[in-house]
């Protein structure tokens, strides 16, 4: 398939909606991004790479980091993780505290904020440096040593992150955090504030298309675990719109409020689209349109 | 692949858990089924058929009927359906009224009871006989004219179905039922009370593996809509355990409290397993184990 | 105290808000009432009677009937009632189904719709004619044999009462209705559709000011039970605004969407104000202002 | 009335349940209290004082402090308070975060933890020392300069108070705290950790029986505001059992997990009972029985 042309066409398909939606503006560093920006990149398991638009522009990866946190925590610590976090869709906004109360501090899945805090706690216990582990993994897979936490974003998140502080204290009140609340929040903010490009993320997501193998051929996850992470992405990866994303795009995907969506085409490659305008569920409007176009034209849906 | 042998092995894998879980006992006709029963059948898109155990024993298909109701309503009436029912996982039990209240009578998805009532209403308006349409479709696809509603089960459901009557009245109070509450309930109970076997359901589900083509080669759904129904199955088809089912089995599946789970292997075939004991989420314990085994051994996961 | 003058002044205090709020319009018979109407009546335990404005105009008493249903059920059947209905404020709208689900079919209190359905069921079992019992009690206390159910209102309520049908079926699904759903709904609608005036209700409420003694001096409730019904009125009698009503008026009160509020001044008398415009919680705007004025001027608060 | 004898009898009535229920044990300093302890005191508006049992033993007043915080915030700052906190019963446990989410950070009432945090914030802005203001008020009213915060309890509360930290951060995330989260929590813990006896609290609560006048005859609250605080106590003062407390005792009351309940008999006096064992709603078992006895025998119910 002429992926370069298809990416080009996907960008054209998204163009009419660029600037639509709402750029995340709860911290200045996110609000200042160009709402018209758009990038898209595909890295295949055969080593092909294609990119269009601003595919080399770094942005704040935000919740896309939760995917890597989960994968690393599973790789390092195994299935015990699932005793502390579920894998069911929540049916509620990503930062809701409601289910946490009725479900006794066990977050519904690793991709809502509550769940990602628990996974960060797990990874921190395993590695001693949760955010560093995520950063190093991205650097290695993307071959880009410049990937780093934006300190301004991390600081702003921390200052304005009252809801996340509420979540972390609440989870801790149920005994489901091992490290101090402040430590978990610090590492959570640090991995969310990592800056990377579509190119970087498409390369870094490749292990999920390769059924667990890293870029260098070493194994991060078992074949089975890699498939299972894809399953969690598909059912829970795009906030309370996971059903709609599965319906439209048909691929496992993980989104972030920075505007990125990283999608996996099992046995084919990893695909990242980025555009800052968000829909009401918190997913990028432009990235969704581009991914929808791509999966429709290529037939690359898992279904 | 030697599917016959794999089915045989899947049945052996499930054997230790047969009798586990709880047989649905809210009506006598369901409670009297043999808890040790087990059947499994695979119908491939190439016309192969394999079955093991009680694969020709008819049982009450219950919520598996919701899959066919949805497909027929989409085939007959198109996308307008999605204005009246969502496609997001609910994060709540299948018969919960809670979200319906906060979401103003729009059920979260077509596979919780509330959503299936709305889809039944849609199909009834389109066809004048919602349950008859489902029955006739099953008969045609399975080539089995004996498929029919069990009148005793339908009557029992109706007598004991206070929760469903509550749901239907509640939805109607928001203006989201067109036909009389009694009519919708009658047809809902009638299609849930259809009796069919693993063989029948595997054959009837084939259109979703064939991307929309019926057994006779005619088109029921567009390629795109067939994929999308699979997506809704994967995210919402097994009650509030859809995430876990996706994680373990990795296939779109629709379960019923009669003990059946119908799973789709896109471009390969449709697979139905049946065993009456249910887990706390309402999914068959034995069928889940057998499907998990099958997908692990064959690698037939969508991820 | 010159109660006649105070009632006159209370009416003047309410005049500026008459026509404010929203007249209940879910059935034609309620919607056609004059939004400017206002009446107020006080019947003291000494046999004094005072009335102003439209105090002899009959209106639909609606949920005020729930007070009499409760008192009669307690009088006939005693404390066993509290096993089937709670006495805590709900913190939710009067017709919510949410708590009913999490609290397994035990309504929070006798004055939300769910609770009143259960009390109606209890009273029906005790008397064989729940709505007739309420009607006969009102007639006797008010000395007004013309008090009767408005058949048009009862029929309209029944036709449009999908939410109440949902509630009744839902409660029944938990096993908390003894009589058939249809019977309970019929009697519920019949006592809500009773027509009476401010004068009638002030006289009928007197037993709660007389600590349980009826107009003829016979005892309906023990002294203790009469106080307890007042307590339930104060904490739960004005929907999800009971706290605000207690704060402003400081008297036990029971409101109805017909626009009436019946308030009890223990050891002094019963006071009924009526004006059709409702606030967002479902309580009469004009009646609340008039009662607030009355209690402020007379000092007749229980606190 | 021979109040001394009635108090003696009330203590006897409570004796069989002393030791019942569960002593608050979330911090060591509370857990170590004698579960058999019981005290009760009445201070009338005429200056009479009666006490029985351990009525001079100081204990941790816990949530009873919320009553004084509210009164002082109203006295200092007036009605503006009600824009930041409601006055409706919550229908949920005292430390629930659920309603806070759906009601956008406005706590339901000043006596649930969330509401008390907001009132503490208000009082701190008005006085510069919220907990000091409460302490000084208690000292002055009780004529007891030894009333002080137990530093060990305050420190323990702070260390274990993850749920309260969650609440405070959550409220702050909605913009409903003015002072820093840490400051509000510190003062909240400090006034909850005040130690006082039944005698002290009965004397300190007198202003609510005197319709706003302090012990020295000066006015703290207007007559109207004093009544209104009583109204909020009655509808919201005993957690999610306020309806039951009103039903049984019929007096405005404020309880704390230290085992105290302070009840107001308007125009008569203030009554405090204390016993450490708590029921499932968090109210003292022994104190409730004693207050129930007292109000039944004396007829001192507001209804």
DSSP annotation string for D138-184: HHHHHT-TT-EE-HHHHHHHHHH-HHHHHHHHHHHHTT---S-HHHH
Q: Is residue A248 over pLDDT 80?
A: yes
pLDDT value for D92: 79
Q: Mutate which of B26, B165, B171, B176 to test chain C, going by most C C-beta atoms within 10 A?
A: B165
pLDDT value for B97: 79
Please state, in angstroms and rounded to a whole number, the distance separating the CA atoms of residues D85 and C253: 23
pLDDT value for B98: 78
Which regions of chain D are under pLDDT 70? none
D146: CB partners within 8 A, 6+ apart: none
Does A179 reside within a domain? yes
The answer to whether A179 touches A232, Cβ cutoff 8 Å, is: no
Which chains, if any, share at least 3 CB pairs under 8 A with chain D? A, C
CA-to-CA separations, B112 to B118, B233, B235, B255, C105, in angstroms, rounded: 10, 11, 12, 11, 21
The answer to whether A187 touches A68, Cβ cutoff 8 Å, is: no
Does D303 reside within a domain? no
In chain D, the DSSP E strands lie at 22-23, 39-44, 49-53, 59-60, 148-149, 194-196, 253-255, 260-265, 269-274, 277-278
Helix, strand or coil, per DSSP, at residue B292: helix
Nearest chain A residue (CA) to D159: A173
> Residues of chain A with pLDDT > 70: what percent?
100
Q: Which residues in chain C are contacts of D234 at CB distance < 8 A?
A: 234-235, 246, 303
pLDDT in tens, chain C (303 residues): 899 999 999 999 999 999 999 999 888 888 889 999 999 999 999 999 999 999 999 999 999 999 999 999 999 999 999 999 999 998 877 777 778 888 889 999 999 999 999 999 999 999 999 999 999 999 999 999 999 999 999 999 988 899 999 999 999 999 999 999 999 999 999 999 999 999 999 999 999 999 999 999 999 999 999 999 999 999 999 999 999 999 999 999 999 999 999 999 999 999 999 999 999 999 999 999 999 999 999 999 999
Q: Which residues in chain A are contacts of B226 at CB distance < 8 A?
A: 303
Q: Is residue B94 over pLDDT 80?
A: no
pLDDT value for C28: 85
Please state, in angstroms and rounded to a whole number, the distance separating the CA atoms of residues D91 and D243: 10
Please state, in angstroms and rounded to a whole number, the distance separating the CA atoms of residues A249 and A259: 16
Count structural domains, chain D. Answer: 1
C98–chain B Cβ distance below 8 A for any pair: yes
Please state, in angstroms and rounded to a whole number, the distance separating the CA atoms of residues A83 and A71: 16
pLDDT value for B101: 84
Kindly provide the b/e burial profile for residues C15-42, where b requires at least 16 CB atoms within 10 angstroms of the residue's own CB.
bebbbbbebbeebebbeebebebbbbbb
D127–chain C Cβ distance below 8 A for any pair: no
* CB pair distance less than 8 Å for A173 and D181: no
pLDDT value for C97: 79
Does C303 reside within a domain? no
D90–chain C Cβ distance below 8 A for any pair: yes
Does D119 reside within a domain? yes
Q: Which residues in chain C are contacts of D232 at CB distance < 8 A?
A: 243, 246-247
* CB pair distance less than 8 Å for C86 and D228: no
Nearest chain B residue (CA) to C180: B162
pLDDT value for C1: 87
DSSP string, B158-187: HHH-HHHHHHHHHHHHTT---S-HHHHHHH
**Considering only A22-26, A39-43, D1-5, which range has the smallest mean pLDDT?**
A22-26
Closest-CA residue to B185 (of B237, B230, B118, B136): B118
**Considering only A268-277, B61-70, C163-172, D88-97, which range has the smallest mean pLDDT?**
D88-97
Please state, in angstroms and rounded to a whole number, the distance separating the CA atoms of residues A127 and A120: 10
Does D134 reside within a domain? yes
The answer to whether A269 touches A3, Cβ cutoff 8 Å, is: no
Kindly provide the b/e burial profile for residues B71-92, where b requires at least 16 CB atoms within 10 angstroms of the residue's own CB.
bbbbbeeeeebeebbbbbbbbb
Measured at the CA of A14, the angle between CA A13 and CA A18, to 5 degrees, comes to 145
Q: Mutate which of D166, D167, D168, D170 to test chain A, going by most A C-beta atoms within 10 A?
A: D166
Closest-CA residue to D135 (of D149, D155, D152, D117): D149
A188 marked as part of a ligand binding site? yes
D32: CB partners within 8 A, 6+ apart: none
**Domain that residue A202 falls in:** 3-298
B104–chain C Cβ distance below 8 A for any pair: no
Q: Which residues in chain A are contacts of D166 at CB distance < 8 A?
A: 97, 165-170, 173
The answer to whether A209 touches A266, Cβ cutoff 8 Å, is: yes
What are residue D225's phi and psi, to 5 degrees?
-65, -35
Please state, in angstroms and rounded to a whole number, the distance separating the CA atoms of residues B237 and B110: 9
Q: Which residues in chain C are contacts of D102 at CB distance < 8 A?
A: none
In chain C, the DSSP E strands lie at 22-23, 39-44, 49-53, 59-60, 148-149, 194-196, 253-255, 260-265, 269-274, 277-278
Does A303 reside within a domain? no
Q: B49-53 and B39-44: which strand pairing?
A: antiparallel
Residues written for chain C: 303
pLDDT value for D93: 75
Q: Which residues in chain C are contacts of D296 at CB distance < 8 A?
A: 224
Nearest chain A residue (CA) to B229: A247
pLDDT value for D98: 78
**Which residue is associated with the tokens 């402020």?**
C296
Does C274 reside within a domain? yes
Which chains, if any, share at least 3 CB pairs under 8 A with chain B? A, C
pTM of the model: 0.91
Tokens of C281: 């919680």
A94–chain D Cβ distance below 8 A for any pair: no
What are residue A22's phi and psi, to 5 degrees?
-130, 125
D247 marked as part of a ligand binding site? no
Number of A–D residue contacts, CB under 8 Å: 52
Closest-CA residue to B183 (of B228, B120, B104): B120
Q: Is residue A95 over pLDDT 90?
A: no
Q: Mutate which of D82, D83, D85, D88 to test chain C, going by most C C-beta atoms within 10 A?
A: D88
Closest-CA residue to A17 (of A298, A216, A289): A289
A301–chain D Cβ distance below 8 A for any pair: no
A166–chain D Cβ distance below 8 A for any pair: yes
A53: CB partners within 8 A, 6+ apart: A11, A37, A38, A39, A40
Q: Which residues in chain D are contacts of C228 at CB distance < 8 A?
A: 247-248, 250, 303
Kindly report the CATH number assigned to the domain that includes residue A201: 3.40.710.10
* CB pair distance less than 8 Å for A169 and D169: yes
pLDDT value for B38: 98
pLDDT confidence tier of residue B219, bands split at 50, 70 and 90 = very high
D144 marked as part of a ligand binding site? no
Tokens of A193: 């504030």
pLDDT confidence tier of residue A48, bands split at 50, 70 and 90 = very high
Please state, in angstroms and rounded to a whole number, the distance separating the CA atoms of residues A59 and A41: 14
Please state, in angstroms and rounded to a whole number, the distance separating the CA atoms of residues A59 and A196: 6
Tokens of A9: 């066409």
Please state, in angstroms and rounded to a whole number, the distance separating the CA atoms of residues B21 and A167: 35
Q: State yes or no: ipTM above 0.85.
A: yes
B96–chain C Cβ distance below 8 A for any pair: yes
D91–chain A Cβ distance below 8 A for any pair: no
Please state, in angstroms and rounded to a whole number, the distance separating the CA atoms of residues B249 and B287: 11
Q: Is residue B159 over pLDDT 90?
A: no
- Round the average pLDDT of chain B to a whole number and report it: 95
| Gyration radius of chain B's alpha carbons | 17
C228–chain D Cβ distance below 8 A for any pair: yes
Does C168 reside within a domain? yes
Neighbours of A1 (CB within 10 A): 11
Q: Which residues in chain B are contacts of A252 at CB distance < 8 A?
A: 303
* CB pair distance less than 8 Å for B235 and A231: no
Please state, in angstroms and rounded to a whole number, the distance separating the CA atoms of residues D36 and D33: 9
Please state, in angstroms and rounded to a whole number, the distance separating the CA atoms of residues C116 and C186: 13
């Amino acid at each position: 398939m002429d992926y370069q042309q298809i990416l080009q066409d996907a960008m054209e398909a998204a163009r009419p909606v660029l600037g639509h939606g709402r750029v995340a503006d709860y911290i200045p560093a996110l609000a200042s991004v160009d709402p018209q920006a758009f990038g898209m990149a595909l890295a295949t398991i055969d080593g092909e790479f294609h990119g269009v638009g601003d595919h080399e522009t770094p942005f704040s990866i935000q919740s896309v980091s939760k995917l890597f946190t989960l994968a690393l925590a599973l790789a390092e610590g195994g299935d015990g993780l699932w005793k502390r976090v579920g894998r069911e869709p929540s049916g509620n906004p990503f930062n809701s505290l409601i289910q946490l109360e009725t479900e006794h501090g066990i977050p519904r899945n690793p991709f809502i904020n509550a769940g990602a805090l628990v996974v960060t706690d797990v990874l921190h216990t395993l590695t001693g440096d949760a955010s560093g582990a995520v950063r190093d993994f991205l650097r290695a897979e993307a071959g880009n040593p410049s990937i780093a936490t934006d300190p301004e974003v991390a600081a702003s998140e921390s200052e304005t992150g009252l809801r996340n502080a509420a979540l972390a204290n609440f989870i801790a009140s149920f005994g489901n955090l091992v490290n101090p609340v402040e430590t978990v929040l610090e590492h959570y903010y640090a991995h969310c504030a990592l800056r990377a490009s579509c190119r970087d993320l498409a390369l870094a997501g490749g292990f999920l298309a390769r059924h667990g193998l890293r870029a260098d051929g070493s194994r991060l996850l078992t074949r089975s675990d890699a498939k299972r992470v894809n399953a969690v992405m598909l059912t829970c990866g795009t906030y309370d719109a996971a059903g709609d994303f599965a319906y439209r795009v048909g691929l496992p995907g993980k989104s972030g409020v920075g505007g990125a969506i990283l999608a996996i085409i099992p046995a084919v490659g990893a695909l990242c689209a980025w555009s800052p305008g968000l829909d009401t569920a918190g997913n990028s409007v432009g990235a969704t349109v581009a991914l929808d176009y791509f999966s429709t034209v290529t037939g690359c849906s898992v279904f």
